[in-house]
Amino acid sequence: MSIIKVAFFGSKNESKDFDPARDIQPLTGRVILITGAAGDLGRQTAIDLARHGRPAQIVIADLPRDAAGVEAALSAIRTALPPDTASTVRLDFLPIDLSSFASIRSAASAFLSLSSNRLDILILNAGIMPVSHGVTSDGYEKVFGVNYLGHALLTRLLLPTLQSTTSMNQDVRIVIVASEGHAMAPKGGIVFDTLKTEAKKLNHFRRYGQSKVALIAFAKELAQRYPDIKTAAIHPGRISTGLSTELVQKSWIIRLTGPISRFVVTTVELGARNQVWAATSADVVSGRYYVPVGVVDEKTVVERDQGLAGRLWEWTEGELKGVDKI
Ligand SMILES: NC(=O)c1ccc[n+]([C@@H]2O[C@H](COP(=O)([O-])OP(=O)(O)OC[C@H]3O[C@@H](n4cnc5c(N)ncnc54)[C@H](OP(=O)(O)O)[C@@H]3O)[C@@H](O)[C@H]2O)c1
């Protein structure tokens, strides 16, 4: 039922009045890392934060590409900025494949050598929703491995830097891009015994939903364990982006809902707003999950099952033991 509801109608909510041009306070001196920032929502998030906050540096972390591809990703951001901003905000490209522990570890080391020993805002934005089944190079269900576990490892590797940054800036944040797709997860939210398999019994909606439940749970648990860092999970809204390319080709339900979906999709500019809000607004309460823009949503399995976030944290600690230090 949830799959049909979300696929056909999306979710509609009252929104906070948030205008990046008016509401983003200066981010002077700050260092920001955004995963998946060569993609649509990540790129727009980088543009909004650079244009209106003028941080010292934004690191665009995305799948490795050749020199022309790196330049294309950076110039898509640079050319959207006024010339004086483009010359003051340093942009770097950080290659990372979130489906590989080895790649995540080398990206974290490379980030530490790129940046000035600080990380003020970490935005976990990259994501996939493939129709096909598969596992990551470390043997985890592909969608869960990229969307959740890869991000969990990256976060653990960068936590010492995030924590030490609080001595320079008390407003250090982690923003986690989840999805209303959490409602499509299998019963219970996370089926732990599928996580090291291809999860053949779960269709793409269920696998995507499971990974997004995990991200909402991750935000909740991070907020409890690291109260000096403000953490929020968000749903961006429904936007036509690179995320749906494979779905449009292979999923009958998406093709069926195509004519309707144009009435519920929004623009990339509006779609990036909730994560930009979560990265900058003083109203953010750590550990919560927000739908656009800035509206708390407690109707998730993570709230219904108060033990889920803790169980996921324990499971993750076990899986990442030995790889979560540089
Ligand atoms: N669009 C929506 O309606 C919607 C709704 C709810 C939630 N979201 C979430 O919003 C986030 C951003 O998605 P988007 O809509 O902007 O889609 P997108 O344009 O496809 O951006 C996703 C980015 O993640 C990158 N990526 C994919 N696999 C990766 C990996 N293994 N390692 C590192 N990076 C990887 C992609 O790189 P390539 O392009 O090179 O593959 C792409 O740049 C995702 O977490 C998504 O789940 C989107």
Tell me if residue 321 falls in helix, strand or coil.
coil
Q: How many domains does the chain have?
A: 1
Q: Which of 33, 128, 235, 269 to mutate to test the pocket of ligand 1 (most atoms within 8 A of CB)?
A: 128
For residue range 284-315, list pLDDT tens digits in order.
Answer: 999 999 999 999 999 999 999 999 999 999 99
Q: Which of 55-64, 221-230, 254-263, 298-307 has the lowest mean pLDDT?
A: 254-263
Q: Are 101 and 315 in contact (CB under 8 A)?
A: no
Range of the domain at 241: 2-320
- Considering the domain boundaries, does residue 260 fall inside one? yes
For residue range 30-53, list pLDDT tens digits in order.
Answer: 999 999 999 999 999 999 999 999
CB atoms near residue 312 (< 10 Å): 25
DSSP code for 281: -
- Considering the domain boundaries, does residue 198 fall inside one? yes
Two structure tokens written together for 124: 């976990």
> Pick from 18, 11, 34, 38: which is nearest to 266 by CA?
11
Q: Are 136 and 145 in contact (CB under 8 A)?
A: yes
For residue range 265-284, list pLDDT tens digits in order.
Answer: 899 999 999 999 999 999 99
- Give me the CATH number covering residue 245: 3.40.50.720
Question: Ligand 1: distance of its center to the CA of 167 in Å?
Answer: 32
- In ligand 1, the atom with minimum distance to the C-alpha of 97 is 32
Distance CA 285, CA 215 (A): 16
Q: Please identify every residue annotated as catalytic.
A: 208, 212
Q: Are 185 and 213 in contact (CB under 8 A)?
A: yes
Enumerate residues lining ligand 1, CB below 6 A. 35-36, 38-42, 62-63, 96-99, 125-128, 146, 177, 179, 235-236, 238-239, 241-243
- Considering the domain boundaries, does residue 325 fall inside one? no
The per-residue b/e assignment along 50-78, b for 16 or more CB within 10 angstroms, e otherwise, is bbbbbbbbbbbbbbeeeeeebeebbebbb
Q: How confident is the model at residue 97 (pLDDT cuts 50, 70, 90)?
A: very high
